[in-house]
Chain A
Amino acid sequence: MSTPFYVSPQQAMADRAEYARKGIARGRSVVVLTYADGIVFVAENTSRALHKVSEIYDKIAFAAVGRYNEFENLRIGGVRYADLRGYSYDRADVTARGLANVYAQTLGTIFSSTGEKPYEVELIVAEVGKGAEDDQIYRLTPDGSVVDEQNTVVVGGNADSIGTYLSQRHQVGLGLAEALKLAVESLARDPNGGSPRTLTAEQLEVAVLDRNRPQQRKFKRILGNQLSRLLSGDSSAEGEGEGGETADEAGAED
């Protein structure tokens, strides 16, 4: 048996980080930003059934890029964690911070364990608060780092250029239609300076955590006609569907 090459820990970690980063950079981005009534999630995703954005618990949602099987696995783990915690204690005891910590530990352990390949995923865990100042957005990287983000965050390919564009133009208290327009604009930009692409409603997956929803569960997918109207700049679509249209229905339409 030949003697294995010596690889310094620094180099090993750098290689693993590079491997994960490359995997993530291949995928389309997800944009998360705050608006007047909560937090909006916009992803480029042509699939109606395989989601990049999902509900975790009452006020907590999850967005991810990278390998589908890996982030789906983490999503289900998160739902189980949240439901078990809410069942053992109380619904109010399930927090985005707690969930982000568990994800961070999980990703960190996998990243530094030599027996496993690092996950090629980047996650966002967001919680809508009673007021805009209570909104929380956490970004998690494959090595288990947690970043507490303010107002806007982007993960996926071209995250840097999209993120810069977005954060420069974002304002606190945007309406849903304005926030969505800004998100789509930033996703459609060509990082090499070419002309922007056109993104239609069919290519987008959009969901919100709306603090004003009367239901306990604040997560809602924005689909079909309402999405088209919002994209075309019709702000009357913003408040519609409250009460009757629910996350359940949204799921059932898929």
Chain B
Amino acid sequence: MEANTRGTGRLPAAFLTPGSSSFMDFLADHAPQLLPGARALPEGLTIEAPHGTTIVSAVFDGGVVIAGDRRATMGNVIAQRDIEKVFPADEYSAVGIAGTAGLAVEMVRLFQLELEHYEKIEGTVLSLEGKANRLTSMIRGNLGMAMQGLAVVPMFAGYDLDLGRGRIFTYDVTGGRSEERGFAATGSGSVFARGSLKKLYRTGLTGDQAATLVVQALYDAADDDSATGGPDLARKIFPIITLITEDGLRRLSEDEVAEIAVSVTDHRRNQPDGPQAPLL
């Protein structure tokens, strides 16, 4: 086929050239300027941009839950109170993002498209491992920006149809991937959220219990980390909670989350530090 041909309206040759099933590979060949990591920043420059903070996730019987608070901060300023940090990646997986919000949201968009594109071209879905690995290479592509302070640290959770259980993967800025057992937290409030999860998590949770668990953990993160937002009862801004099971992905409605958030907050009035685990 002739090379050509912007201008005639014909599909450019790159579109009709047999190649990989990856949308990212196609972009890299055809329109590299659209890849998130492709933009170089001047040396030594640091930019202050809104950052997203805490994401928590937990495995329960028959699935996995992933949730995020709603605060974005820029330095000591609250940049946005209702930012979304948990996104569906496809029918059986979701990605939560901590780090530079602008880059992270763009990365998620490309990641969603990457999975969908593969599925349409190949006629089958990627394995959960395959999806997790694609995310690794995207983070690695952002390493240059990460070194200048614009890091993106996602968490990936999904239902593995082959193994029949929920799984969680966390990443570091270099793209290092690790699978977590049971529960995980990432972002600035993650130390506090992880402590909370560690004390409250147990095997055999139901989906509803797991949803309550992640709200407790986010509450604890917000309690001790100024960059993490707690449930905003006055403005009715609550965490975003996504449940993924064999039936697919479901984001809890605002009313459902509000109910959990209100009951957690109510309990905290009497017990500000939350539920207590036995000493021994």
A interface with B by C-beta (< 8 Å): 49, 51, 54-56, 73-74, 76-77, 79-81, 83-84, 86-88, 101-103, 105-106, 108-110, 113, 115-116, 215, 217, 243-244, 246-249, 251-252, 254
State which of B16, B27, B120 has its C-beta within 8 Å of the C-beta of A84.
Answer: B27
Q: Which residue of A lies closest to B246 (CB)?
A: A244
Main secondary structure of the interface of A (DSSP, over half): helix
Residues of A within 8 A of B123 (CB): 49, 51, 54, 251, 254
Asked if residues B125 and A83 are in contact (CB atoms below 8 Å), the reply is no
Residues of B within 8 A of A243 (CB): 247-248
B interface with A by C-beta (< 8 Å): 1-2, 5, 8-11, 15-16, 18, 23, 26-27, 30-31, 34, 90-92, 109-110, 113, 116-117, 119-125, 161, 247-248
Residues of A within 8 A of B23 (CB): 80, 83, 87
Q: Which 9 A-B pairs have the closest CB atoms?
A: A105-B9, A77-B15, A105-B10, A244-B247, A77-B11, A248-B91, A106-B10, A77-B16, A106-B11
Residues of A within 8 A of B125 (CB): 248, 251-252
Residues of B within 8 A of A51 (CB): 123
Given A115-B2, A244-B248, A246-B91, CB of A81 within 8 Å of CB of B117 = no
In the complex the two chains form, what is the Cα distance from A54 to B123 in whole Å?
9
Asked if residues A105 and B18 are in contact (CB atoms below 8 Å), the reply is no
State which of B1, B110, B120, B161 has its C-beta within 8 Å of the C-beta of A56.
Answer: B120
Given contacts A54-B123, A88-B31, list 11 more A-B pairs with CB under 8 A. A74-B16, A81-B11, A102-B10, A102-B11, A103-B11, A108-B10, A113-B2, A116-B1, A217-B116, A246-B248, A254-B124
In the complex the two chains form, what is the Cα distance from A247 to B115 in whole Å?
13
In the complex the two chains form, what is the Cα distance from A83 to B90 in whole Å?
15
13 A–B pairs (Cβ distance < 8 Å), ordered by A: A73-B16, A76-B121, A77-B15, A77-B16, A79-B117, A80-B26, A87-B110, A88-B31, A106-B16, A109-B5, A246-B248, A248-B119, A249-B91
